[in-house]
Structure 1
Amino acid sequence: MSLLDAFHLIRPWALLALPVIALLWWRIRPKPQAATQATTGLAPHLAEALATGASRRRRLYPIDGVAAALVLLTLAVSGPTWSRLPDPFQAETAPLVVVLKLTPSMTETDLSPTRLDRARFKILDLVARRAGAETALIAYAGSAHRVVPLTTDPGILTSFLNGLSPAVMPVDGDDPAAALSRATDELARAEAAGAILMVLDDMAPDAIPNIAAMDLPPITILAAAPDTVTLPQLDGLPGATVVRLSPDDSDLDRIERALVSAYRAAQSEDETQLWEDRGWWLAWPAALLVLIWFRRGWTMRWAALAVLATGLSTPQTARADGIADWFWTPDQQGRRAFEARDYDRAAALFEDPMWRALALFRDGQYEAAAEAYATLDSPEAAFGEGMARLRNRKYRAGVRAFEHALELRPDYPEAAQNLEVAQAIVALVESTQSQSDTGKETGIGADDVVMDNESGLGEQTEVERSGAGDGVQSAEEWMRSVDTDVSDFLATRFRIESAEAPE
């Protein structure tokens, strides 16, 4: 139903050709001819027997196929659509906040090894599927705490997720409403509308009315409990999709479909994004109708000449790279590879410089992407260059790129926002350089220290590594010796947050 609500035509004026096609079809199609021989004086059954060819009246004519193909092509030109083009600088799925229940019941072993472990495995598998998408993590029991903010780094999620257990929670109990409130606040920081995934084994019935009264984004509930446990209160939660944990990936497939649905719904409401033209789908049945022209007696010479003239009038680049070039242009092949997330191949196929730069950016080739964007003189290209520079940790170059984007388009809120972020990073780097110890006094023993000193702050120096066995640890050795128990860290942080929370 959401697709039907969003359906419209990008170029509805193209439908004006339909009456012309109908008139052409009516004028060319042969009309039934009246009998030329008088049958007066003959018995009706004899007149019917003497009338030759009356029973073999032709039902379909070449003009019928031509008219049908022209109608399909006209509908294709009108640009039917029901979805928008994705933002090239956002992930192709909705931001997700995972809300994980951490109560003693999650340590039950009716799901091997425990309910919590099975839930943790499913979350990790889902994060791996959502490569490049923003994901946050909220943990709750009697209180709710943000474990990880929205991030695209799966390594951060993995390390903190493995450190979660009921022992780190400072308050006993079960307060899903507080967790959903924190999840909603986290999604408010995202640039696109997102969704919430609650992973739990049960929910107290008295929490349902409080949750039903909240204004929440789409919620999917992954029930980490065996099938023998009935959960009627979850099924009664309005607006939520309940998915039972399964031994295979069917539960993850359902969750992904729900997330894609939420993403498309959010896209259709974004007025800043262009609509994606779906008219090319209608070209395939039109091509099948044109194939009928190969049959003897079905060729419309004037239509064949029109199609040939159209094809000759469109210049094409001669390529001989394979069978795919017979049917798709290089940019079309690049788009297919891009949608399949084969960004490296897409970058090699694209001839459009903007799409090629975007494919390099998605593939993590930030330096190459920045150079590709730098060859273009448009605010969008300057913005893309700035994003690539920031990802490549070239912050001052990113500042210059965003400033250039604002010169080309002063009313560019995304560029202005990212310029502020880049300038803040540069200020932090310069402040750190001017105040930090270079290693002369502490004797950390680095092999070589190289600082980005474009601003002229700080001190540049080279420090020779101390010889082996002198008792001085290198920076890497010192970091490895630090006790980094994530569970202890989270428990301490959650206790502090709970103590500082208002009553």
Structure 2
Amino acid sequence: MLTLAAPHWLLALPLIITVLWLSSRLSTQRPLRLPSLLHPQTRLLATLVTADHNRTARWPWWLGIALLCLALTRPLWIIGPTASGHPAHNIMLAIDVSGSMRTLDYQHDRQAISRLDMLKQQLPGFIARRAGDRIGIIAFADDAVTYVPLTTDHALLTGLLADLQQGLAGERTALGDAIALASHRLQHVDTSRILILLTDGANTAGRLSPLQALELCRQHHVRIYTVALGTAGKVAFPRGPVLPPLTTALPPDTALLQQIAASCGGRFFHITAQHTLDQAFAEIDHLEPGRVTDPSAARHHELFWLPLSSALLLLLWSEWRSRHQVLPC
């Protein structure tokens, strides 16, 4: 399928042609002083330069200008599937970066990893499967901040996710503020609004309680999936490079997270091992199937070089022709 990436450049074509036409008219009305060679058959040569010849001599120039405007519109040849026209999902990932996310209660390659590191390992796979969806990230601890606005640039999103660090916004957990911020970011989109809340703690900070924030989500029709991280038993909590880890219990507030999910039409998941997070994301994929074809599967070929090269050849030929044309004196 042939399409134009920047069709607005076609609007410039009439203006350019008008300016060039006026310029040529003014130039023909002024006497032109050029070095000339006197010839005994001057009148005979003058008859060779007819009005039709003058008109046809300019057509390569006009056509070249038109082709330049066409090149600026960036013609594209689309091959493969295109967007189906169905709306994409809008998904905000609210990620807890409070101090408790340093807790080492997950395993990767037989090594203990923190709750946040486990999320950073598993989330890219989920993001890759959400082709066509707009996804953003909210990081929250003492405060909730928009770490990545809603975007379809999943490569950029995954790169910024890898740089996410604990302590970005404090040590405590402002669940209510995170929910309220997600609701605010999603309220103006015109398709499905989804919040995935990934946390290991109870609400211990912030200006709004989770129940107050839930009212905003219900008003804006935001569906919430809650993912509780951590186990109920004792786990290792690192205390720096010198002190040994502290063995303590840091369980998530599963009752609150269940209530949040039930209040906004979502589901609750409790992640006790790394593989169960994959299962949770697979369940969300099933509940919220993608409704657009992957745009990356549709290949396109740039065709601007065809009118551009043709325009340059025509303009060069027109210039060469004007320089080598024999005119009567």
Letter in 2 for 1:225: G
Letter in 2 for 1:220: Y
Distance 2:183 2:300 in 1: 32
Q: 1:208 to 1:120 in 2, by over 3 A?
A: same
In the alignment, structure 2 segments of 5+ residues that lack a partner are: 1-81, 108-112, 234-250, 305-329
Letter in 2 for 1:241: R
CA contact (8 A) 2:173 2:201 kept: no
Letter in 2 for 1:159: G
With normalisation by structure 2, the TM-score equals 0.50
Deviations 1:303-357 (A, max 9, x none): xxxxxxxxxxxxxxxxxxxxxxxxxxxxxxxxxxxx9x6x8xxxxxxxxxxxxxx
Q: How does 1:49-198 map to 2 (within 5 A)?
A: 88-89=84-85, 93-112=88-107, 113-169=113-169, 171-198=170-197
With normalisation by structure 1, the TM-score equals 0.34
Matched, 1:247 2:181: no
Map of 1:377 onto structure 2: none
Distance 2:300 2:190 in 1: 22
Distance 2:213 2:187 in 1: 18
Distance 1:143 1:178 in 2: 7
Q: 1:209 to 1:186 in 2, by over 3 A?
A: closer
Q: How does 1:448-487 map to 2 (within 5 A)?
A: none
Question: Could you tell me the percent identity over the aligned residues?
Answer: 19
Letter in 1 for 2:198: V
Map of 1:236 onto structure 2: 259
CA contact (8 A) 1:108 1:115 kept: yes
CA contact (8 A) 1:243 1:254 kept: no
Greater relative CO (CA pairs within 8 A, separation 6+): 2
Give 3-state SS (helix, strand or coil) of 2:225's partner.
strand
Distance 1:199 1:366 in 2: 37
Matched, 1:366 2:291: no
- Greater share of helix residues, 1 or 2? 1
Distance 1:122 1:90 in 2: 28
Distance 1:363 1:134 in 2: 17
Map of 2:223 onto structure 1: 218
CA RMSD of aligned residues (A): 3.2
Distance 2:178 2:103 in 1: 22
CA contact (8 A) 1:103 1:166 kept: yes
Map of 2:201 onto structure 1: 202
Give 3-state SS (helix, strand or coil) of 2:137's partner.
strand
1:259 to 273, 282, 288: 288
CA contact (8 A) 2:99 2:171 kept: no
CA contact (8 A) 1:134 1:152 kept: yes
Q: How does 1:247-326 map to 2 (within 5 A)?
A: 247-248=274-275, 249-260=278-289
Distance 2:230 2:117 in 1: 12
